[in-house]
Amino acid sequence: MGSTSAENHGGVGRRSLIKRSAALGLASVPAMSFLSACASGGGDGQDKAKAGKKTAKNPLGVNDTAQMEFVLFDGGFGSEYAKDATEIYQKNFPKAKVKFTTTQKIQSTLQPRFNQGNPPDLIDNSGAEQMDMGVLVGKNQLADLTPLLDAPSYDDPSKKVRDTLRPGIVEMGQFDGKPVWIFYYAYTVYGVWYSQKALDALDEKYPETWDEMIKVCTKAKAKGMAGWTYAGKYPYYLPFSLYPMIGKVGGRDVLDAIDNLEPNAWKHPAVKACFEAYYELYKKGFILKGTPGLDHIQSQTAWAKGNALFIPNGSWVENESANVIPKDFDLAVSAPTGLDSSDKMPFGTIWASGGEPFIVPAKAANTEGGMEQLRIMLSEASSKNFTAKVKSLTAYNGGTTGIDLTPGLKSGVAALEKAGTNVVNPRMQDWYVQLQKEKIGVSGLGEMMAGRATPAETIKKIQGFADEAAKDTSIKHYKHQ
C-alpha cells in the first residue's frame, strides 16, 4: 500500500488496525452522509442466474454458463493471488465469462450498484472506501455464506469448508450470532515482536512471566537499549499485546465483558494487574525516550535499528518495515508475557484474527458463483499462492508446507501452533472503532504510558468511556453470544 498506509493510519480507520500496508488493506469509516445513503435498497435488481446442477465437482450448483463478476480491493496484497484463483474458476467452468476488476474506491464504485440492485457476485470490501458492514447487514444486502461453509472443501470432499478454517474466522463474519455474512480471507497474528538476535545477545529467552520481563528489560537498559517502544501517536497498538495479556491473566470472559460493554468490566482485577504491569515499564524507564511522539513508522524504525527490544504489532509489520529491518535481524513474534503461574490461561495465549473481508451481495446475479470463487480461494494451492506472494497467512488452516517462509511469518506460524486453542479475538476494534482508537487508545492508554495518568485513573476514565458508549443509542451494540 506504500504511503497510503502511513497517511491513513492516523485517521479514523474502521479496520485500519487489522488491515494495513502489504499485510492488510486500509479501511476507514464512511462519513455519515455515506451511511445514510448507504445500501438504501433501490433498483429493481437483475435477473438471477438459474442454479446449475449440484454434482461432486460442483457442490454449490453453479450455473456453468453464467457470468461471474469479482471486484477486488486493490491494496497491499495486490491482485495477483485473486487473478490466479479466477483462472481456476474459468478452467472449471469454461463456458462461463469471468469478469475480474480491481479498484481502490469500493464505496463510490459499488454503492450505486447496490442501490440499483445489480451488484457484482463477489467483493473484497476493504480499503479506505470500505462499505459499512453493519449497514449492509442491517439492510439485508448480503447473502448468507452458510452454504459455502457447509460445502465440501476444495481439496477434500470429506471435510466441509468450515472444518478447514483457522479459529475465529466463522464467528468474525457473524453479527449477533446470526448467519455468516462476511468471510475474512487473510489472517493476522498480533503480539510482541522482537529481534531474536538481540535477545540472544542479552543471553535471554523470551520472558514468560512479568518478573522475567523486568529482568530482560533491565539487562537491555544496561546495554543502552530500551525494553519497549510503540506507536505513541496511535497507542491503540498497545492492545495488540495488552488485550491478550488481560485474557491470559483473567480468562476469556474478561475480554468478552469488555467487548459487551458490561458495567465495571474494566474494573476486573486482571485489567488492573495488567495495566499496573505496563505502567511499571514506564516507571522503570524501560520505554524508549520520545516514544509518545512517534507514529507507527517511526517507532518501527527505531525498533528495527535496535534502539528498543520489544514492540506490540500485527504481522503486517514484517512487510511494512521490510526496508528498515536488517538482514540478520531474525524477526520473531511471541504471545504476550503473563503475570505468573496464577494466570487463568497458559503462556502462548495469543490474539489472532481475520482481515480482508469478502462479501457476496444478496442481489448478485450469480451468488453461487461468488461463493464458488471463495471456495477455490480456500483450497490449499490458492492459500499457498497468497502466502508465498504477500507474506501473510490466510483463513485456511494450513497452506504453509513447502513454502520458504520469511522469518516473521515462520515465527507467527510457530506462535499459532503453540497457542493451539488458546487464541483470543477481542472485538472492540471491529465493533466500536471510535471507542477503541480515540478513547481507550489515545485518551486512556496513551496518557498512562506517557506517565500522565496512573493505572487507577486510567481504568476509571476508560470505564466511563465504555459506559457512555453503552448508553449511546446512535451506535449499534453487539454482544458475544
Per-residue model confidence as pLDDT tens digits over 12-54: 233 333 333 333 333 333 333 333 334 444 445 688 888 899 9
CA distance 78 to 102: 9
Q: Which CATH architecture has domain 3-188+353-413?
A: 3-Layer(aba) Sandwich (3.40)
- Report the CATH fold assignment for 190-351+427-471: D-Maltodextrin-Binding Protein; domain 2 (3.40.190)
Chain mean pLDDT for the chain: 89
Whether residue 291 is predicted with pLDDT greater than 80 in this model: the reply is yes
Residues shown for the chain: 481
Q: What is the pLDDT of residue 85?
A: 98
β-strand pairing of 308-314 with 68-73: unpaired
Angle at 121 (CA atoms; ends 119, 126), nearest 5 degrees:
80
Q: What is the pTM of this model?
A: 0.80
Asked if 240 and 299 count as a contact pair (C-beta separation under 8 A), the reply is no
pLDDT bin (cut points 50, 70, 90) of residue 311 is very high
Q: Beta-carbon neighbour count of residue 91 at 10 Å?
A: 9
pLDDT at 432: 87
* Whole-number pLDDT of residue 44: 57
Selection from 111, 104, 106 nearest residue 135 by Cα: 111
> Residue 458 is placed in which grid cell?
486510567
Task: Give the model's confidence band at 3: pLDDT under 50 very low, under 70 low, under 90 confident, else very high.
Answer: very low
Q: In which region does residue 377 sit, left (phi positive, over 0), alpha (psi from -120 to 50) or beta (all else)?
A: alpha
Q: What are the backbone dihedrals phi and psi of residue 275, each rounded to the nearest 5 degrees, phi first? A: -60, -45
Same fold, 3-188+353-413 and 190-351+427-471: yes
DSSP-derived letter for residue 73 is: E
What letter does residue 162 receive in the DSSP assignment?
G
> What pLDDT is attached to residue 203?
98
For the chain, the domains span 3-188+353-413, 190-351+427-471
DSSP bridge pairs for 359: 123
- Evaluated on CA atoms 75, 297, 243, 221, the torsion sign reads positive
Structure confidence at residue 29 (pLDDT): 35
**Each residue of 407-438: pLDDT tens digit?**
999 999 999 999 999 999 999 988 888 899 99
Closest CA to 412 of 421, 427, 396, 400: 400
Cell of 448: 498512562
